[in-house]
């Protein structure tokens, strides 16, 4: 049975229907990532689980108990906020021990728990400082420490890395990953960054307009997206989306599997660009983006802009005439409504 | 001379002129309180004279200074405590549980201060009379509280607005209920605003004269009414009037002197951060 169960959760703010019926079952120890574009309702959904917003209709069950109406403080969940939300007037130690203090835990126990968490997060030497004397990354670790100390049933992360600079974000992402491995705690993590989603998640929940588009492991979403939206949302750069009849040569290469009025989806790495006119569709190079490890080639195939990615560097230059070939093994087909059709 | 220093010097001179202009009446008041009645009306005015304390003893003898002082203390401290007790939760709810009408309510509260107090004199007088509260400290405390409430709510509202709401949410997630959240998080983070609001309310109540004069006389009168009693009926006694004034304002001036840092901080809330 699921550890945390969302049963047809809905939320309205006045007349605005924000979450339109979400069903989800999360197992114990799972790392779940909510991902989606701005305004898709991912943060709202997290706040509903946290109890910071009231659920309009539906039920929320944790460990077999209905917690739909339970106040935040009694749900036994811990949250790491985007802004860290540390208590500015308290030392790091007091920040991390606040919940235990309110719960009436004895001082010795508090001290040992905080010391342990501080050691895990490399915060031992900062315990006496106040948040404003810490760097962004250290504040972030205190916020995580505050959650760990409580050993809650579920960890909730609301875009915890978006206030950090790029380098620190990468490091902290790895730390969170390791931490989850070590603690095995059930976690729900909200982000708009698909790299975070892909690297951290056991399962990713893709949301759009208050509804779940697809739930699956990162590779399932990448390899078998349920629809055009997921296909284009996951993967960087986005999957190329071509109308069925736009490039006749491509249609021919698919071997008749493409619905006549549907769409063909091609990941950038599934496009092979050859110098000069040869096999495949004739095209023209628009722009080269050399990223070092790989190279993005923007091409124009009879008026349709596409992006190809290859690991090798290229001698091609903007304006060159090329031909483009598909990798037939990794193509995606969508019908007119954007739903995936079996390949 | 360095060209950049000239504007600085001009500004300093300007500041001193304004300061002296503002200070002069107060300084003259203090000087006069140490003169005899004859010296007080002397033409040309005297700056150097033999100081006397007779006005102060006379004021204490003629009108029980300590009674008025006690009334002032009780009404101003009382109205400050009651005001804070009402304004703090009101501002809290408006700052952290906003609705579409929150702004309107705040504006409406402030707008009550735009009406001249005399506009409400008759109804309030009649109410106080009917309730048998004329010339009681209760009536003054209630009226002081009510007239200060809009400003108190506003000041506390702005100081609460400086607290990021996520911090309160974090406290809620940590298991805080409404009281522990207020006690451990909101209070320590807004203590500056709370203190300066209290200070301002105390000063406004202490100096309040309009309602004190109209609703009280011998029993519940505050120091403001004591000063007034020296002005008209027996002719003008400048030296005694000055002595009474000095005695009335001295406590609050000393108090304000020591708390000025807190006051400035509170009144410029948000502007500094």
ipTM of the complex: 0.85
Please give the average per-residue pLDDT across A277-299, as a whole number: 90
**CB of A98 within 8 Å of any CB in chain B?**
yes
Q: pLDDT-based confidence at B273, cuts 50/70/90?
A: very low
CA–CA dist B10, A336 (Å, integer): 77
Average pLDDT, chain A: 91
**B269 - beta bridge partners?**
none
Of A51, A71, A81, Cβ closest to residue B170: A81
CB contact under 8 A, A50 and B173: yes
| C-alpha distance from B166 to closest chain A C-alpha (Å) | 6
The predicted structure's pLDDT at residue B50: 87
Per-residue pLDDT tens digits for B13-68: 999 999 999 999 999 999 999 998 888 888 888 888 888 898 898 888 888 888 99
CA–CA dist A12, B265 (Å, integer): 41
Q: Does the structure show a pLDDT above 60 at A304?
A: yes
Q: Does the structure show a pLDDT above 90 at A239?
A: yes
The predicted structure's pLDDT at residue B267: 62
**CB of B184 within 8 Å of any CB in chain A?**
yes
Per-residue pLDDT tens digits for A182-225: 888 999 999 999 899 999 999 999 999 999 999 999 999 999 99
Q: pLDDT-based confidence at B105, cuts 50/70/90?
A: very high
Residues ≥6 apart with Cβ < 8 Å to A161: A140, A169, A172, A173, A191, A193, A196
Chain B residues closer than 8 Å to A78 by CB: 173-174
CB contact under 8 A, A74 and B188: no
Question: A234 or B41: which carries more pLDDT confidence?
Answer: A234
| C-alpha distance from B169 to closest chain A C-alpha (Å) | 7
Average pLDDT, chain B: 88
Q: Does the structure show a pLDDT above 80 at A125?
A: yes
A240-243 β-sheet, strand order: A240-243, A263-266, A331-334, A340-341
Residues ≥6 apart with Cβ < 8 Å to A221: A204, A206, A214, A230, A234
Residues ≥6 apart with Cβ < 8 Å to A224: A216, A340
CB pairs under 8 A between A and B: 62
Please give the average per-residue pLDDT across B131-143, as a whole number: 94
CA nearest A46: which of A13, A83, A77? A77
In percent, the amount of chain A with pLDDT more than 70 equals 99
Of B166, B174, B189, Cβ closest to residue A73: B174
CB contact under 8 A, A71 and B180: no
pTM for the model: 0.81
CA angle A123, A125, A130 (to 5 degrees): 80
CA nearest B238: which of B42, B4, B19? B42
DSSP H or E stretch at residue B146: helix B137-161
CA nearest A102: which of B177, B187, B189, B169? B177
In percent, the amount of chain A with pLDDT more than 90 equals 71
Q: Does the structure show a pLDDT above 60 at B272?
A: no
Using DSSP's 3-state secondary structure scheme, residue A297 falls into strand
Chain B residues closer than 8 Å to A81 by CB: 166, 169-170
Residues ≥6 apart with Cβ < 8 Å to A142: A84, A86, A92, A95, A96, A121, A123, A126, A131, A134
The predicted structure's pLDDT at residue B271: 40
Residue to substitute from B174, B180, B194, interface A, most A β-carbons within 10 A: B174
The predicted structure's pLDDT at residue B270: 44
The predicted structure's pLDDT at residue B262: 73
The predicted structure's pLDDT at residue B41: 84
Residue to substitute from A89, A91, A154, interface B, most B β-carbons within 10 A: A89
Q: Distance from first CA to last CA of chain A, Å, rounded?
A: 33
Question: A259 or A126: which carries more pLDDT confidence?
Answer: A126
CA–CA dist A181, A203 (Å, integer): 15
The predicted structure's pLDDT at residue B22: 94
A65-66 β-sheet, strand order: A16-26, A4-13, A57-62, A65-66
CA nearest B168: which of B187, B185, B190? B185
CB contact under 8 A, A87 and B164: no
Using DSSP's 3-state secondary structure scheme, residue A176 falls into helix
Q: Flag the least confident range among A102-111, A181-190, B8-17, B220-229.
A: B220-229
**CB of A50 within 8 Å of any CB in chain B?**
yes
CA–CA dist A287, A270 (Å, integer): 18
Q: Torsions phi, psi of A211, nearest 5?
A: -130, 150
Please give the average per-residue pLDDT across B166-181, as a whole number: 93
CB contact under 8 A, A79 and B164: no
Q: pLDDT-based confidence at B93, cuts 50/70/90?
A: very high
């Amino acid at each position: 049975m699921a550890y945390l169960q969302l049963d047809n959760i809905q939320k309205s703010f006045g007349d605005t229907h924000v979450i339109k019926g979400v069903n989800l079952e999360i197992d114990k120890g799972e790392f779940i990532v909510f991902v989606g574009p701005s305004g898709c309702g991912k943060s709202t959904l997290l706040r509903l689980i946290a109890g910071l917003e009231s659920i309009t209709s539906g039920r929320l069950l944790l460990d077999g108990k209905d917690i739909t109406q339970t106040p935040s403080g009694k749900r036994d969940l811990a949250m790491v906020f985007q802004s860290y939300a540390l208590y500015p007037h308290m030392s790091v130690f007091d920040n991390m021990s606040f919940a235990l203090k309110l719960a009436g835990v004895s001082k010795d126990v508090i001290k040992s728990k905080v010391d342990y968490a501080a050691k895990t997060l490399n915060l031992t030497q900062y315990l006496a400082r106040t948040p404003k004397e810490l760097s962004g990354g250290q504040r972030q670790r205190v916020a995580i420490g505050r959650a760990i100390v409580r050993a809650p049933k579920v960890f909730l992360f609301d875009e915890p890395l978006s206030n950090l600079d790029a380098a620190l974000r990468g490091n902290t992402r790895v730390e969170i990953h390791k931490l989850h491995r070590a603690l095995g705690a059930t976690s729900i993590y909200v982000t708009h960054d698909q790299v975070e989603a892909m690297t951290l998640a056991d399962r990713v929940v893709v949301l759009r307009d208050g509804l779940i588009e697809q739930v699956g492991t990162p590779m399932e979403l990448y390899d078998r997206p349920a629809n055009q939206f997921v296909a284009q949302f996951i993967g960087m750069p986005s999957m190329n989306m071509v109308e069925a009849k736009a490039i006749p040569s491509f249609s021919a290469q698919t071997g008749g599997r493409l619905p006549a009025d549907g769409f063909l989806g091609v990941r950038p790495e599934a496009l092979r660009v050859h110098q000069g006119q040869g096999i495949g569709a004739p095209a023209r190079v628009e722009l080269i983006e050399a990223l070092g490890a790989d190279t993005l080639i923007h091409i124009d195939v009879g008026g349709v802009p596409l992006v190809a990615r290859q690991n090798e560097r290229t001698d091609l230059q903007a304006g060159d005439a090329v031909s483009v070939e598909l990798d037939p093994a990794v193509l995606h087909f969508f019908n007119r409504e954007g739903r995936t059709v079996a390949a | 001379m360095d060209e950049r220093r000239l504007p600085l010097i001009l500004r300093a001179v300007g500041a001193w002129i304004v300061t002296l202009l503002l200070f002069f009446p107060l300084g003259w008041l203090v000087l006069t309180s140490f003169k005899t009645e004859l010296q007080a009306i002397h033409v040309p005015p005297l700056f150097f004279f033999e100081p006397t304390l007779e006005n102060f003893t006379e004021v204490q003898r003629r009108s029980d200074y300590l009674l008025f002082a006690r009334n002032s203390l009780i009404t101003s401290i009382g109205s400050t405590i009651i005001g804070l007790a009402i304004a703090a939760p009101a501002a809290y709810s408006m700052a952290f549980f906003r609705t579409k009408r929150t702004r309107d309510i705040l504006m409406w509260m402030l707008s009550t201060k735009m009406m001249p107090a005399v506009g409400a004199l008759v109804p309030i007088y009649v109410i106080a009379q009917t309730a048998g509260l004329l010339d009681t400290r209760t009536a003054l405390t209630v009226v002081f509280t009510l007239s200060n409430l809009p400003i108190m709510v506003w000041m506390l509202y702005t100081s609460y607005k400086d607290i990021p709401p996520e911090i309160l949410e974090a406290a809620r997630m940590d298991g805080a209920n409404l009281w522990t959240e207020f006690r451990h998080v909101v209070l320590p983070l807004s203590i500056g605003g709370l203190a300066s609001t209290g200070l301002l309310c105390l000063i406004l109540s202490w100096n309040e004269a309009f309602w004190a004069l109209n609703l009280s006389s011998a029993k519940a009168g505050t120091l403001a009414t004591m000063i007034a009693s020296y002005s008209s009926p027996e002719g003008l006694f400048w030296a005694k009037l000055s002595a009474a004034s000095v005695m009335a304002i001295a406590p609050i001036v000393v108090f304000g002197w020591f708390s000025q840092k807190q006051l400035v901080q509170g009144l410029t809330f948000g502007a500094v951060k």
